[in-house]
Amino acid sequence: MSVPTLSSSSVKEAAAAVGFDACGIAAAAPLTEEEWGYDEWLRNGYQADMAFMEQHRDMRRDPSLLVPGAQSVIVVLLGYKPSQHMQGEARIAQYAYGEDYHERIKRMLYQLIAAIRQRYPDFEAKPCVDTVPISDKQWARRAGLGWIGRNTLLVNPSLGSYCNIGELVTPSPADLYDTPLENGCGDCRACADACPNKALTHSSIQAFKHSQIPLLDANRCASYHTIENRAETLPPDIHLSGYAFGCDICQLVCPYNQTAAVRYTLTDERKSQLEALADADPAAFRRATKHTALSRIRHTQWLRNRNQRET
Report the percentage of the chain scoring pLDDT > 90.
Answer: 86
pLDDT digits (tens, 9 = 90+) for 165-196: 999 999 999 999 999 999 999 999 999 999 99
In Å, how far from its chain's centre is CA 120? 29
Going by DSSP bridges, is the β-strand pair 72-79/22-27 parallel, antiparallel, or unpaired?
antiparallel
pLDDT at residue number 202: 80
Give the range of the structural domain holding residue 193, as residue numbers without chain letter.
1-311
Going by DSSP bridges, is the β-strand pair 72-79/163-170 parallel, antiparallel, or unpaired?
antiparallel
The residue among 97, 88, 96, 95 whose CA lies nearest residue 242 is 88
Mean pLDDT, the chain, rounded, equals: 93
DSSP for residue 53: G
The 3-state DSSP class for residue 156 equals: strand
Q: How far apart are CA 93 and CA 251, in angstroms?
A: 10
CB count in 10 Å sphere of residue 209:
7
Q: How far apart are CA 250 and CA 150, in angstroms?
A: 9
The 3-state DSSP class for residue 243 equals: strand
pLDDT digits (tens, 9 = 90+) for 43-59: 999 999 999 898 999 99
Does position 89 have pLDDT exceeding 90, yes or no?
Answer: no
The pTM score is: 0.94
pLDDT at residue number 311: 40
Does position 205 have pLDDT exceeding 60, yes or no?
Answer: no
**How many Cα neighbours within 13 Å face the side chain of 104?**
21
Does position 8 have pLDDT exceeding 80, yes or no?
Answer: yes
34 — pLDDT class (breaks 50, 70, 90): confident
The residue among 221, 259, 236 whose CA lies nearest residue 308 is 236
DSSP for residue 123: -
Contact criterion met (CB below 8 Å) for 115 and 18: yes
| CB proximity list for 236: less than 8 A, separation 6 or greater | none
209 — pLDDT class (breaks 50, 70, 90): very low
Give first-to-last CA distance, the chain, whole Å: 60
DSSP for residue 114: H
Does position 131 have pLDDT exceeding 60, yes or no?
Answer: yes
Burial class (CB in 10 A: 0-12, 13-18, 19+), 195: buried
Q: Residue 138 carries which side chain, given as an amino acid letter? A: Q
pLDDT at residue number 35: 80
Mean pLDDT for the stretch of residues 273-280: 93
Cα distances from 227 to residues 30, 106, 110, in angstroms, run 30, 22, 28
Which of 39, 49, 130, 268 is an active site residue? 130
Give the total number of structural domains in the chain.
1
pLDDT at residue number 208: 46
Contact criterion met (CB below 8 Å) for 30 and 169: no
Q: How far apart are CA 170 and CA 4, in angstroms?
A: 10
Does position 210 have pLDDT exceeding 50, yes or no?
Answer: no
Mean pLDDT for the stretch of residues 96-119: 97
Q: How far apart are CA 145 and CA 95, in angstroms?
A: 19
Q: Would you call 122 a catalytic residue per the annotation?
A: no
204 — pLDDT class (breaks 50, 70, 90): low
pLDDT digits (tens, 9 = 90+) for 219-268: 999 999 999 999 999 999 999 999 999 999 999 999 999 999 999 999 99
